[in-house]
Amino acid sequence: NAGVTQTPKFQVLKTGQSMTLQCAQDMNHNSMYWYRQDPGMGLRLIYYSASEGTTDKGEVPNGYNVSRLNKREFSLRLESAAPSQTSVYFCASSVGSGSYNSPLHFGNGTRLTVT
């Protein structure tokens, strides 16, 4: 019973490099989310996918792209990494469309450093 799995756990990038963060859930959830967590800022929503085939911007989408590959997988791509994107990235999923009355299940995060 893995829940939400994120890879990689750690990553160091140089400014300008690109990478994709992977996320997969095995709970048959409809909705998936990407958050970033910075010290003193709490969690901020980057992108979300209310259902397979749809994606929408959250609070801080600039510099990121997402793909909802299928119902299980939701990836986050940094096309040209910047030091401001140094953060811990969390993927989450929920049963319902959006999060109305539906708790989020989180992965354990990807710790990204951009130098």
Contact residues for another protein, defined by CB under 8 A: 4, 33, 35, 40-45, 48, 50, 56, 58-59, 90, 92, 96-109
Minimum distance from residue 15 beta carbon to another protein (Å): 26
Minimum distance from residue 24 beta carbon to another protein (Å): 14
User: In the complex with another protein, which residue's Cβ is closer, 53 or 100?
Assistant: 100
User: In the complex with another protein, which residue's Cβ is closer, 1 or 100?
Assistant: 100
Residues in the chain: 115
Q: Answer left, alpha or beta for residue 59, where phi above 0 means left and psi between -120 and 50 means alpha.
A: alpha
CA–CA distance, 73 with 70 (Å, rounded to integer):
6
- Beta partners for 23? 6
Contacts with 114 (C-beta within 8 Å, 6 or more apart), sequence order: 12, 13, 14, 15, 81, 82, 83, 84, 85, 86
User: In the complex with another protein, which residue's Cβ is closer, 56 or 79?
Assistant: 56
User: In the complex with another protein, which residue's Cβ is closer, 17 or 88?
Assistant: 88
